Structure 1
């Protein structure tokens, strides 16, 4: 059995109408949107804003708790009793003696005895710097003359007592040889501390022998006192 449709109830017949109505509605909405004017939003006069407005700060209150004193607190000590001394009672006073010296008191100063120190003299003085040279027996005159006379007498003494043949007998090489004779003229004028340096031991003994033959002299003096005077006597000879 076929269902029969009413041709008026068929909606396809109104499709064009719906399309047109929709198109008209869309055009209307578009027109209204275009014609609608928008304005900038106006704000009322807000007045000048005060940026330096007082800012309320929070204040934190700290409450200090007061601790009550302990109940069992001992009482303060009683003051010491002050003894009142009657005027009639004698009180011993401490007397402080002054250590300052009274001007009236005489100050005794012990006298200091000055002790003269004896100046130490050098016992051995070289012949070149002695003040008063030793005096060879027979020498006279000034200090310079006595000094020259002493040297002259020494050379004559060597020439008289030195054995010149001994040097040739020892077989020394030819040439000039020298002996250094060193001794000291003591405080009493005697010859002391004789030493010699020679190219041969026998020549050394010969020089010491000659020095022992020197006569006793008048001792040399330094600052008016007798001293020992060192003297060096070189002996020169030739070996053939």
Structure 2
């Protein structure tokens, strides 16, 4: 499967949700970012117009799929299961900075998700009132690879 920006995913908040979960509304979807009281909470910076990858989401997926690499140590019994989420800050000039893991898939796969996030080329920045502004972008890495098939 391909890496999918979180904007494409729908998250549901169940009745069992903890009242300390910080929720950010984005493009009419609800994205659960993390526990608001967590010591390492990463703020989510919203803009009127979201940042976007040059060429769109399909080009972003293609870039990631072309460049992602899984070390042999990432496989357990011939299976790799990656479900990591990285939050990025997109600067006013479109440069990707401040990549943080907000959902972990373990040390090895998190390192690969961060490596990929840090090698992304410039985005079209988010806009506030038509002016480029620093903003957040959340990227989900969801891969399942079974070498035994």
TM range (shorter): 0.5 to 0.7
Question: Superposition RMSD on alpha carbons, in Å?
Answer: 2.3
* Secondary structure of 1:154's aligned partner: helix
Aligned partner of 1:194 in structure 2 is 99
- Given that residues 84 and 105 in structure 2 are in contact (C-alpha distance below 8 angstroms), is that contact kept between their aligned partners in structure 1? yes
Q: Which residue of 1 aligns with 2:73?
A: 169
Taking CA–CA contacts closer than 8 Å with sequence separation of 6 or more, which of the two structures ends up with the larger relative contact order? 2
Partner secondary structure for residue 97 of structure 2: strand
8 Å CA contact 1:181–1:233 kept in 2: the answer is yes
Residue equivalent to 1:209? 115
Equivalence map 1:1-240=2 (5 Å) = 124-125=45-46, 130-137=47-54, 139=55, 149=56, 151-164=57-70, 166=71, 168-172=72-76, 174=79, 176-196=81-101, 197-240=103-146
Q: Which moves more between the two structures, 175-184 or 229-238?
A: 175-184
CA contact (8 A) 1:178 1:234 kept: yes
Shift of 1:171: 4.1
As a proportion of its length, which structure holds more helix?
1
Q: Specify whether residues 160 and 216 from structure 1 end up closer, same or farther in structure 2 by C-alpha distance, changes over 3 A only.
A: same
TM-score by structure 1 length?
A: 0.37
Q: Which runs of 4+ in 1 moved over 4 A?
A: none
Q: CA deviation at 1:170?
A: 3.0
More strand by percentage: 2
Residue segments in structure 1 that go unaligned for 5+ positions in a row: 1-122, 140-148
- Give secondary structure in 2 for the equivalent of 1:160: helix
- Alignment partners' CA distance in 1, 2:117 and 2:145: 22
Question: Normalised by the size of structure 2, how large is the TM-score?
Answer: 0.57
